[in-house]
Amino acid sequence: MDVASLDPWVKGYPTGDWYQAMLNTAHGKPVALAEVGTVPTPAQLAAQPRWAWFMIWSEYLTTANSASGLQSTFNNSRVLNQGEVHIPSGGTNPP
């Protein structure tokens, strides 16, 4: 599987234009926020629902994010955390 990813950590959260450009570039494949400084808010995730995942740089965890902002994002129903993702066994591998 191919993934198109964006590293917006210096520029902040991607604008709607950036998001649409990523979807156009991906041609239906997953898109991801590969490196962020500030975690997306629940409202941002709702407005741009096709992001498959995001990864935050660890050094920005507490310097660019508030505790309440992190809790709001990571407790949001759109976000899966460790232990909440289960891959079924017995599947076949793609060619």
pLDDT tens, position by position, 18-75: 999 999 999 999 999 998 989 999 999 999 999 999 998 888 898 989 999 999 999 9
Query: Is the whole model's pTM more than 0.85, yes or no?
Result: no
User: Which are the contacts of 36, defined by CB distance < 8 A and separation ≥ 6?
Assistant: 8, 9, 13, 54, 55, 56, 57, 60
Instruction: Give the pLDDT of residue 10.
Output: 73
Instruction: Give the pLDDT of residue 12.
Output: 78
User: Which are the contacts of 86, defined by CB distance < 8 A and separation ≥ 6?
Assistant: none
Cα gap 50→20, rounded to integer Å: 10
| pLDDT band for position 13 (cuts 50, 70, 90) | confident
Instruction: Give the pLDDT of residue 85.
Output: 81
Is 20 in contact with 47 (CB distance < 8 Å)?
A: no
